A = this chain, B = another copy of it.
């Protein structure tokens, strides 16, 4: 026995609005279904890894049939790359907004944010991107990098460079002030490691019941990394 399309949409929980007429080619809501796929893929790739997730898992999670993801993406790798691209684009946008908010706040009192304040903003935003709501995309980028093809890496790398570029002048200033010790490039990588590793141990659910908040993490990171400025 087989099910008709309408019987299927009664049996399977889908978010589609009820009674919508069969779509013509011109009104395909590619964007929505594509977004559903990306979200499902990000979540599964994060939990089970890229190689450990089947395209069927993803299709099911997005309420589709087994072959349907390939209507939206050429192959499984392209889906992974899209997850990473989407995650990095959002991260770059959010980082820019966070920095602007910090600068505006300082401007209101006719000052300019200190390098310390800017670092705090960057760190806090990083924790949000890694651990906050909708935070599956960036962990996938960090931990599933090896499954990208050479060309795909190039594309995502340039987004990553955008993101990291904002850190450079801030860390440079702190290094010159003596607040950041060690070799600048090495210390930078170690700081990123300290932040990115939080994906492995931080449990947002437990935070609600008395654990550390993302603000606490950011405060702790600055305390740990930044030294007293050398007196002038």
Contact = CB atoms under 8 A, between A and B. Distances in A.
Interface string A37-74: 00000000001111110000000000000000000000
B49 A146 contact: yes
How many copies of the polypeptide does the oligomer hold? 2
B51 A221 contact: no
A96 interface: no
A186 interface: yes
A221 B225 CA distance: 10
B212 A183 contact: yes
A223 B181 CA distance: 6
A182 interface: yes
B198 A197 contact: no
B51 A181 contact: no
A180 B227 CA distance: 10
A189 interface: yes
A124 to B, nearest CB: 14
Given A51-B51, A181-B223, A224-B225, A193 B198 contact: yes
A82 to B, nearest CB: 19
A228 B223 CA distance: 13
A216 interface: yes
Q: In the complex, which of the residues A142, A190, A200 has the most CB atoms of chain B within 10 Å of its own CB atom? A: A190
Interface of A: 47-52, 142-143, 146-147, 180-183, 186-187, 189-198, 200-201, 212, 216-217, 219-221, 223-225, 227-228
**Which A-B residue pairs are the 6 nearest by beta carbons?**
A193-B197, A51-B51, A51-B52, A190-B194, A182-B220, A181-B223
